[in-house]
Amino acid sequence: MGDLGFCHYSDIAGAVARQLLSDTTADGGIPLLLTRALHNKVITYFILSLRCYLGYFDTEMLFNFISPFLAPFLLTCVLLHHYRKGLLVLLFVMPLFFIGNPLHLGLGSRISVYTWFFVLIAIVGCIKLIRRLLDTL
Amino acid sequence: MRNYKWRYFSVLCIGLAFILRIFRVGEYPVSLYIDEVAIGYNAHSIVETGRDEWGIPFPTYFRSFDDYKLPLYIYLVAASELVVGKTPLAVRLPSVLAGTATVLVVLMLFPSLGVKKKTTLIAGLLLATLPWHIHFSRGGFEATLGLFLTTWGILLLVKHVVESVIPAKATSDVAKAGIQVIKMNGSRIKCGMTEYLLPFLLLVLSLYSYHSQRIITPLLVLVVLIIYRRSLTRQVLRRFLLPSFLCFILLIPYLLYTFSPQGLARASSETFLADVRVRPDNLFSQKPILAAEHFLRGYVSNFSPITLFFTGDGNGRHGVREIGQLYLWQLPLLLLGVIHTLRHSREGGNPRNFNLLMLFWLLIAPLPAALVRPNPHALRTLPMLIPIIYFIALGLSRITFYVSRITYVKTLVFCFMLFVICYMLLSYLHIYYVHYPRRTEPDWNGGQKETVEYILSKKKDYKEVWITRDFVEGYIFFAYYGDILAQLENIVFLPTKYPLSYEKGILFLAPSGSFAPGKLLTTIHDKSNNPIFDLWEL
């Protein structure tokens, strides 16, 4: 959903309509009640919204924008204790910023912000790792 | 949990797994895809003549389309064809049985490795109903057999290693876990040389089952040896000697095959290095750096939440596409299970070792997929399933532990979860049996059987039959559906899409929607009414 996986809330509405049309067409011959139970707006909206949100944590997309060599530092940042709660909150709020896009950023700017966000987390992870290593020495 | 309840739920779980895998397996997926046809024909050829399609008697690997298939699955299909005949069911039956047996293995062996019975039961039920596992168990995929053999072999090896240590080190953590096993089973367990033979044999067989297992199995054995190193006393290692020697003998054909050009053919044809584009002018674009980057990118893409929970890997043969390889409700439980494992990784004893084994299993499983392309790849990463269901089961049992203190919340949570689980399972089955056949028939080579049958009924009226290149590896479909290769006598497989020149008196199988100078006899459609090929009388 969205250009290069950068999903926006308007993408969700469009995707819901397309998905429901496609599913009900594929269901031809199935009792209407079953079709309505399995392919309804509420559940489709919920699933596609979640997909839109989790798309920002998609490892396939993320490591197309940043080097996969940064993966250990990202993990360190999330796993080690210092500032973990703050970072996790920031991490979970980040997709909402892109989905809502309150600053009306273009795709290029959104890619830059997204890339730098994770690069910064990786830098913090790197610092945490070095501190941990120095502490153990 | 009481014993009768445990047995009752286990049988229920295995029954459910078998029903979900066997129900109309010959018709869903809609037709046999090219590899299934090749497996079916080679198995048929072994049954009839004792030789493969290339005339090699009882081969240790099957040349097939020069992809050199591993032998175990094909021989099992041969046995299955002896029982049920040359049908789609025969090609898929070993996979169905292996899939069901994997559930049985989980239910039988998890408790003896320190996993609680409730968690084991949840894991068994999860595996029985998981889209990822159901899907591959219903097709003629060697990966399902590989998963079964590796899981059984590794878990049995760990079980015997844990049990062996009890008399020697009665006070160690591992021994405590072992004593739990003894209490559970009610008698003292002795593990001699013969007990070790079975896990070793299973692990060797897994190497003959699927390409991914050639990397995963040795690495997992290494991990087991490292994690359970304290249990590996001299006494235990001595018991390894005879099974190791016997397995080494069984491994000789495998080793000869692995390091031969044929053994490397599959890996070298699909290696990820083919995608690496070196730029000599840039210091950071040298081959080792780019290769490592490509490898890592492929590796991490197999953990993509979108692939796992929403879309699958995009290949129509590897999943229904509309939902992922796992159910969406399992996402928070998976995270909870992994976090719980990481938090308690410093606790001693057997559960800690088992948790570590599962973590390493999860990390090792995508390695073979990352070495080749494309990525993510649901089939090659199938062994990830075992640690994943373990972590989900652990997460679910943690939730039930937290809510069990308040009765009405417990009932409410239980009812809600039951509703969600049933709804998602029903939704998956609906997609599998209703949407999937209509949407992905071309991925399963739909319409090719009908094409072969039509041509074989008409070919005697024509000088020659010309087959377009678009009918990929068409000879195997003629061999399988037409029964014998001799029927190919006046059939010509063109190296191109269209012939360079046309002749009269020829039956030409052309790509759908094409034009040829002659009379259009018919257009062949698959079961979903998609046009597949046009047949022209030149």
Give the pLDDT confidence of A36-89 residue by residue, as tens digits: 899 999 999 999 999 999 999 999 999 999 999 999 999 888 887 677 788 888
A89: Cα separation from own chain's centroid:
14
How many whole angstroms separate alpha carbon A107 and alpha carbon A97?
A: 13
How many whole angstroms separate alpha carbon B525 and alpha carbon B260?
A: 42
How many whole angstroms separate alpha carbon B419 and alpha carbon B427?
A: 12
Which residues of chain A neighbour B306 with C-beta distances below 8 Å?
Answer: 51, 54-55, 58, 60-61
Which residues of chain A neighbour B297 with C-beta distances below 8 Å?
Answer: 63-64, 68
How many whole angstroms separate alpha carbon B66 and alpha carbon B45?
A: 17
Q: Which of B272, B275, B304 should one mutate to test binding to chain A, selecting the residue with the greatest count of A CBs within 10 A?
A: B304
pLDDT of residue B183: 47
Pairwise CB contact (< 8 Å): A60 & B307: yes
How many whole angstroms separate alpha carbon B34 and alpha carbon B41?
A: 11
For residue A19, the chain B residue with the least C-alpha distance is B322
CB B121 within 8 A of CB B80: no
Full DSSP string of B417-445: HHHHHHHHHHHHHHIIIIIHHHHSGGGGT
Q: Is the pLDDT of residue A131 over 60?
A: yes
Pairwise CB contact (< 8 Å): A26 & B292: no
CB A2 within 8 A of CB A51: no
pLDDT of residue B182: 45
How many whole angstroms separate alpha carbon A7 and alpha carbon B33?
A: 35
Q: Which of A57, A63, A73 should one mutate to test binding to chain B, selecting the residue with the greatest count of B CBs within 10 A?
A: A63
Instruction: Kindly state the DSSP code that residue B498 receives in the 8-state scheme.
Output: S
Q: Please choose, from the candidates A58, A46, A56, A57, the residue with its C-alpha nearest in 3D space to the C-alpha of residue A16.
A: A46
> Residue B64: helix, strand or coil by DSSP?
coil
Q: What residues of chain B score a pLDDT lower than 70?
A: 1, 165-192, 283-284, 345-350, 483-488
Q: Please choose, from the candidates B89, B103, B110, the residue with its C-alpha nearest in 3D space to the C-alpha of residue B134.
A: B103
Q: What are the residue boundaries of the structural domains of chain A, listed by start?
A: 1-57, 59-137
Q: Which of B296, B306, B427 sits opposite A58 (nearest CB)?
A: B306
B430 part of contact set with chain A, CB < 8 Å = yes
> Residue B469: helix, strand or coil by DSSP?
coil
How many whole angstroms separate alpha carbon A50 and alpha carbon A44?
A: 10
Convert B63-100 to b/e letters by CB count within 10 Å (16 or more is b).
Answer: bbeebbbbbbbbbbbbebbeeeebebbbbbbbbbbbbb
Q: Which of A4, A59, A75 should one mutate to test binding to chain B, selecting the residue with the greatest count of B CBs within 10 A?
A: A59
CB B535 within 8 A of CB B507: yes
Q: How many CB pairs under 8 A join A and B?
A: 58
How many whole angstroms separate alpha carbon A45 and alpha carbon A37?
A: 14
How many whole angstroms separate alpha carbon A59 and alpha carbon B233?
A: 42
- The widest CA-to-CA distance across chain A, in whole angstroms, is 70
How many whole angstroms separate alpha carbon B385 and alpha carbon B167?
A: 34
What's the whole-number mean pLDDT along residues A96-101? 92
- Beta strands B491-493 and B464-467 are parallel
Residues in chain A: 137
Interface predicted TM-score (ipTM): 0.92
pLDDT of residue B166: 55
